[in-house]
C-alpha cells in the first residue's frame, strides 16, 4: 500500500447552463494508493458523482474540468478521446448505481460482458466467452452458461449488479470507481455485494473509490474517507479517525442523522436546513448557513485546511479557534 | 419512541387479508396464475402505536399498506376499522372511513401534481371532506403549512420550487389536513438525504404526539424502524414471518429471516467485526412461492420438515409471534 496510483489536484468542474456557469466541484484534491479503498461521502448534489465522472472523462458536453488528474504518469484531463477510451474499462472502470439503466436492455449479458475483453484484450470470441463465464462464476452467479445468453430484464437487481461488477472487473482494472453500488439493493443483497467487492479487491489488489451516502457502508469498506459538502472537501481522514473523532460539524451531523440499529436510546440530531443550490453564492464557509457553531469569521472567509494529525485534515474555522483557546490555556512558559 | 400514547384499544383489525393479482396469458387471456402479493395477514393495530412493516422489496409490504387503505380491493379477508367491517362496503359507503385514513407516499417528486399550487394541493382534501368556506380553508392550509415547518408564502408556489424534504413536508400536510386517526407511511424518508431524513422523522414523531395518530410505517430501513416504531411486522413473500415489540425483535429475533435482516445492516461503527448471517440467493418469485415454509430456499436452518409443511403462526412469548418450525 505505498504506491500512489491516482492523484487529483485542484479539480474544478463547471457546467454551462442557461442560468450561467455553475460549479459542481470546487477545487478538490486527494490521492489514492494501490490496494486502498477511499470512500467519498456526502448528500446528493455535493459533487461526489461529478468528481467520479470527471476522473472517468464521462461528463456531459456542457461540462468542463480544470486541474490535474494524474493516473499512471498521465494527466487524464489532457488526454484525447481515443486515448481516454483505451484507459476506460481497461485500467479504470466504473460500477453505476442503477444496474438496470447502466446495462443495455437490447444486448445479452454475454455480449456486454465480452465487449471490453474483445476491445481491450484482443481476445478471440471463443476465449472472451470462456473468460466471461469465469467472471460470472467469480461474482457468484449460478448457471453462468445460461446467463450469458439472457437479457438484463431476466435477472434480479442483485444479479444485475453482479453482472455490472463482472463487466467492470473484466480487464482487471487498477482502479475501480463504484458510484453508490448498493443503494438500490435490499440489505441482504447489499451485504452479499459488499462481501463480494471486498473479496475481489483483496484478490486483485484493485484500488477502489466508493461513492456513497450510507455511513454504515463506509464503516464497513473504507480505509480512508473524504467528506464532501457543496462541491468542497470538508474533512478527510482514515476511517477510524473519522468515525471515532469527527471534527467538522457537518461530519458530526451526518453521523447523528442516522438512527443506530443497536442503540434504542439513540437521539436523532439532524442538521437544520437543506443543501444549497449549486449556483448559490455563499460567502465564507459554504456550510455556515446550516452550522450551529457559525461565527463571525465563518461568514467572512473560507476556512483553510488544518492538519490535525498525519491522516486527518479538516476545513473549519473551529479548528483554529480551538487551537487559539488551547494556546491561551497554556501560558507561554510551557513553550 | 412513542410508547406513552399506546393503548390496547384495537383501531384496525385484519383477518386473513389477501391480495392476489392474476397473471393472464394465452390468446384468450385466461388466468394462468396469481401473484400472491399479500397472502394471509392477520393482526390488530392498536390506537396510538406505530407499527413498522419491514421486508425486502417485493415482499408485499407496500401492497399491504394500500390494501388496508382501500386503494386496492382485498381478494379475501376481513378488515375491521373501529368496530366496523369495511371490506364489504361500497366505495360510497367507504367515504367517511377514508376521512379517517390517509397516506404519505414514498416519492415526493411523483406524488405531487406539478401544475398545482401546493396550497391548493393541501386544500383538496378539505374541499372533499369538509364544508368550510374558502377563507376558512385558506386559514386552515396556512396553519397546516406552519405545522409542518413551511411558511405562509409557500401557498402559491409550485412543487418544482421545493426541495425533496420540503415536498415530503407538503405530503405530510396533505395527509393530516382532515385530522385522520390512521396514517399509512409508505417509505416516507427513503428518497431523502440523511440529514433531511432525520428532520422528517422528527416531524412525524411530533405530529403523532400532538394528534394522537396511529402509524403503519412501511420501510426497508431497519434503523429508522427501530427508532420510530413500537411494534414491528416482518414480511416475506406476502406472508407474516414475525411480529414483536420493537425491543424484543431487535434483541431477540426468533425467525432466521429476521435474524439475517438485522445482521445484514451495515453499522456506522469502525473496528467492530461482526459475524454476518449470509443469506444465499434472491427472493423467489411471489407468483410461485416455494412449498412448505416460503423461506426454506434461503434459510440456514432448513430441513425436510420446512420443505414439506408450512409452519404455523404462533405466539412464542407474550406479544411475540413467529412462523418457524424450530423457534
Mark yes or no for CB contact A194/B250 under 8 Å.
no
Count up the domains in chain B and report the number: 1
Q: So what's the pLDDT on residue A328? A: 56
Q: So what's the pLDDT on residue A308? A: 86
pLDDT at B273 over 80: no
Whether B120 is in a domain gets the answer: yes
Whether B201 is in a domain gets the answer: yes
Whether B327 is in a domain gets the answer: no
Task: Annotate B283-321 with three-state secondary structure.
Answer: CCCCCCCCCCCCCCCCCCCCCHHHHHCCCCCEEEECCEE
Mark yes or no for CB contact A274/B265 under 8 Å.
no
Residues of A in contact with B165 (CB under 8 A): 274
Which residue segment(s) compose the domain that B46 sits in?
3-322
pLDDT digits 0-9 by tens, B166-187: 999 999 999 999 999 999 999 9
Q: So what's the pLDDT on residue B287? A: 82
- Structure-model confidence comparison of residues A185 and B73, the more confident one: B73
pLDDT at B204 over 60: yes
Helices A249-257 and B194-211: crossing angle in degrees, nearest 10, is 50
Mark yes or no for CB contact B199/A194 under 8 Å.
no
Beta partners for A209? A38, A177
- Choose, out of A163, A191, A225, A254, the residue to mutate when testing the contact with B (most B CBs < 10 Å): A191
- Choose, out of B55, B274, B282, the residue to mutate when testing the contact with A (most A CBs < 10 Å): B282
Q: So what's the pLDDT on residue B44? A: 94
With CA atoms as reference, report the closest residue to B198 among A182, A255, A290.
A255
Non-local (6+) Cβ contacts of A183 within 8 A are A97, A212, A213, A214
**What's the whole-number mean pLDDT along residues B153-160?**
93
Mark yes or no for CB contact A264/B250 under 8 Å.
yes
- State the smallest CA–CA distance between residue A318 and chain B in angstroms: 21
pLDDT at B2 over 50: no
Q: Considering CB atoms only, which of A219, A243, A274 is closest to B165? A: A274
CA B268 → CA A34, A202, A221, A272, distances in Å?
Answer: 25, 22, 11, 21
What does R_g of chain A's alpha carbons equal in angstroms?
A: 22
Residues of B in contact with A213 (CB under 8 A): 193-194
Say what the ipTM of the complex is.
0.81
Q: Considering CB atoms only, which of A43, A189, A270 is closest to B199? A: A270
Alpha-carbon span A263 to B265, nearest angstrom:
13
Residue of B nearest to A222 (CA): B270
Q: So what's the pLDDT on residue A319? A: 86
Residue of B nearest to A273 (CA): B196
pLDDT band for position B247 (cuts 50, 70, 90): very high
- State the smallest CA–CA distance between residue A142 and chain B in angstroms: 9
Residues of B in contact with A192 (CB under 8 A): 278-279
**What's the whole-number mean pLDDT along residues B113-124?**
94
pLDDT at B160 over 70: yes
* Geometric angle at alpha carbon A217, from A37 and B219, rounded to 5°: 160
Whether B93 is in a domain gets the answer: yes
Q: Considering CB atoms only, which of A219, A240, A255 is closest to B266? A: A219
pLDDT at B226 over 80: yes
Grid coordinates representing B273 are 467485526
- Structure-model confidence comparison of residues A266 and B272, the more confident one: A266
Mark yes or no for CB contact A190/B264 under 8 Å.
yes
- State the smallest CA–CA distance between residue B166 and chain A in angstroms: 9
* Geometric angle at alpha carbon B24, from B23 and B30, rounded to 5°: 130
Per-residue pLDDT of chain A in tens (335 residues, 90 and over written 9): 468 999 999 999 999 988 888 899 999 999 999 999 999 999 888 899 999 999 999 999 999 999 999 998 899 999 999 999 999 999 999 998 888 888 999 999 999 999 999 999 999 999 999 999 999 988 888 889 999 999 999 988 888 998 999 999 999 899 999 999 988 788 888 888 888 888 888 888 899 999 998 888 999 899 999 999 999 999 999 999 999 999 999 999 999 988 888 887 888 888 888 888 777 788 899 999 999 999 999 999 999 888 888 889 999 999 877 666 655 554 444 33
With CA atoms as reference, report the closest residue to A233 among A316, A315, A318, A319.
A315
Residues of B in contact with A223 (CB under 8 A): none
Q: So what's the pLDDT on residue A32? A: 94
Chain A to chain B, count of Cβ pairs less than 8 Å apart? 123
Whether B260 is in a domain gets the answer: yes
Residues of B in contact with A186 (CB under 8 A): 56-57, 220, 283
Whether B11 is in a domain gets the answer: yes
Grid coordinates representing B139 are 386559514
* CATH number of the structural domain spanning residue B74: 3.40.50.300
Whether B175 is in a domain gets the answer: yes
- State the smallest CA–CA distance between residue B99 and chain A in angstroms: 32
Worst-scoring range by mean pLDDT, A219-233, B32-46, B274-288? B274-288
Whether B182 is in a domain gets the answer: yes
Q: Considering CB atoms only, which of B220, B227, B271 is closest to A240? A: B271
Q: So what's the pLDDT on residue A309? A: 85
Task: Annotate chain A with three-state secondary structure.
Answer: CCCEEEEEEEEEEEEEECCEEEEEEEEEEEEEECCCEEEEECCCCCCHHHHHHHHHCCCCCCEEEEEEEEECCEEHHHCCHHHHHHHECCCEEEECCCHHHHCCCCCCHHHHHHHHHHHHCCCCHHHHHHHHHHHHHHCCCCCHHHHHCCCHHHCCHHHHHHHHHHHHHCCCCCEEEEECCCCCCCHHHHHHHHHHHHHHHHHHCCEEEEEECCHHHHHHHCCEEEEEECCEEEEEEEHHHHHHCCCCHHHHHHHHHCCCCCCCCCCCCCCCCCCCCCCCCCCCCCCHHHCCCCCHHHHHCCCCEEEEECCEEEECHHHHHHHHHHHHHCCHHHC
Alpha-carbon span B26 to B187, nearest angstrom:
36
Amino acid at each position: 500500500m505505498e504506491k500512489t496510483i491516482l492523484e487529483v489536484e485542484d479539480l474544478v468542474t463547471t457546467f454551462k447552463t442557461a442560468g450561467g456557469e455553475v460549479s459542481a466541484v470546487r477545487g478538490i484534491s486527494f490521492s489514492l494508493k494501490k490496494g486502498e479503498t477511499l470512500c467519498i461521502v456526502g448528500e446528493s448534489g455535493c459533487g461526489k458523482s461529478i468528481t467520479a465522472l470527471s476522473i472517468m472523462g464521462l461528463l456531459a458536453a456542457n461540462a468542463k474540468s480544470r486541474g490535474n488528474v494524474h493516473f499512471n504518469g498521465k494527466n487524464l484531463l489532457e488526454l484525447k478521446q481515443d486515448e481516454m477510451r483505451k484507459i476506460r474499462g481497461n485500467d479504470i472502470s466504473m460500477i453505476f448505481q442503477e444496474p438496470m439503466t447502466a446495462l443495455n436492455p437490447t444486448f445479452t449479458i454475454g455480449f456486454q460482458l465480452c465487449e471490453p475483453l474483445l476491445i481491450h484484450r484482443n481476445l478471440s470470441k471463443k476465449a472472451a466467452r470462456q473468460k466471461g463465464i469465469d467472471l460470472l462464476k467469480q461474482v457468484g452467479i449460478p448457471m453462468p452458461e445460461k446467463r450469458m445468453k439472457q437479457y438484463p430484464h431476466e435477472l434480479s437487481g442483485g444479479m444485475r449488479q453482479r453482472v455490472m461488477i463482472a463487466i467492470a472487473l473484466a480487464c482487471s482494472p487498477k482502479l475501480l470507481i463504484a458510484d453508490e453500488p448498493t443503494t438500490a439493493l435490499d440489505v441482504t443483497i447489499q451485504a452479499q455485494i459488499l462481501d463480494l467487492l471486498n473479496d475481489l479487491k483483496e484478490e486483485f489488489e484493485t484500488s477502489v473509490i466508493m461513492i456513497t451516502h450510507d455511513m454504515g457502508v463506509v464503516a464497513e469498506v473504507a480505509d480512508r474517507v473524504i467528506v464532501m459538502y457543496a462541491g468542497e472537501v470538508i474533512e478527510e481522514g482514515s476511517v477510524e479517525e473519522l468515525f471515532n473523532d469527527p471534527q467538522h460539524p457537518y461530519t458530526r451531523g451526518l453521523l447523528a442523522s442516522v438512527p443506530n440499529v443497536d442503540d434504542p436510546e439513540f437521539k436523532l440530531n439532524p442538521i437544520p436546513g437543506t443543501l444549497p443550490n449549486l449556483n448559490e453564492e455563499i460567502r465564507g464557509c459554504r456550510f455556515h448557513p446550516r452550522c450551529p457553531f457559525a461565527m463571525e469569521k465563518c461568514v467572512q472567509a473560507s476556512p483553510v485546511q488544518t492538519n490535525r494529525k498525519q491522516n486527518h485534515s479538516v476545513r473549519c474555522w473551529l479548528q483554529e479557534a480551538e487551537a487559539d483557546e488551547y494556546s491561551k490555556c497554556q501560558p507561554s512558559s510551557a513553550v | 419512541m412513542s410508547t406513552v400514547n399506546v393503548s390496547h384499544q384495537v383501531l384496525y383489525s385484519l383477518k386473513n387479508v389477501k391480495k392476489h393479482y392474476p397473471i393472464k396469458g394465452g390468446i384468450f387471456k385466461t388466468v394462468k396464475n396469481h401473484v400472491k402479493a399479500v397472502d394471509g395477514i392477520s393482526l390488530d393495530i392498536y390506537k396510538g402505536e406505530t407499527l413498522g412493516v419491514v421486508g425486502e422489496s417485493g415482499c408485499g409490504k407496500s401492497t399491504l399498506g394500500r390494501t388496508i387503505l382501500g386503494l386496492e380491493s382485498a381478494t379475501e379477508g376481513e378488515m375491521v376499522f373501529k368496530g366496523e367491517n369495511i371490506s364489504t362496503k361500497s366505495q360510497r359507503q367507504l367515504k367517511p372511513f377514508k376521512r379517517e385514513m390517509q397516506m404519505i407516499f414514498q416519492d415526493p417528486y411523483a406524488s405531487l401534481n406539478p401544475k398545482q399550487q401546493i396550497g391548493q394541493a393541501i386544500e383538496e382534501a378539505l374541499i372533499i371532506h369538509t364544508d368550510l368556506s374558502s377563507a376558512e380553508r385558506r386559514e386552515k392550509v396556512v396553519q397546516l403549512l406552519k405545522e409542518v415547518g413551511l411558511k405562509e408564502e409557500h401557498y402559491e408556489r409550485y412543487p418544482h420550487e421545493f426541495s425533496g424534504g420540503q415536498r415530503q413536508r407538503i405530503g405530510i400536510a396533505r395527509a393530516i389536513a382532515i385530522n385522520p386517526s390512521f396514517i399509512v407511511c409508505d417509505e416516507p424518508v427513503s428518497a431523502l438525504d440523511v440529514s433531511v431524513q432525520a428532520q422528517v422523522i422528527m416531524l412525524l414523531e411530533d405530529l403523532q404526539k400532538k394528534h394522537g395518530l396511529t402509524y403503519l410505517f412501511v420501510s426497508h430501513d431497519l434503523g429508522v424502524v427501530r427508532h420510530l416504531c413500537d411494534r414491528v411486522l416482518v414480511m416475506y413473500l406476502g406472508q407474516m414471518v414475525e411480529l414483536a415489540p420493537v425491543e424484543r425483535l431487535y434483541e431477540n429475533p426468533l425467525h432466521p429471516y429476521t435474524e439475517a435482516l438485522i445482521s445484514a445492516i451495515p453499522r456506522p461503527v469502525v473496528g467492530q467485526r461482526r459475524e454476518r448471517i449470509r443469506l444465499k440467493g434472491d427472493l423467489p418469485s411471489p407468483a410461485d412461492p416455494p412449498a412448505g415454509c416460503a423461506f426454506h430456499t434461503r434459510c440456514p436452518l432448513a430441513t425436510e420438515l420446512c420443505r414439506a409443511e408450512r409452519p404455523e403462526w404462533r405466539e412464542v412469548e407474550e406479544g411475540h409471534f413467529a412462523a418457524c418450525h424450530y423457534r
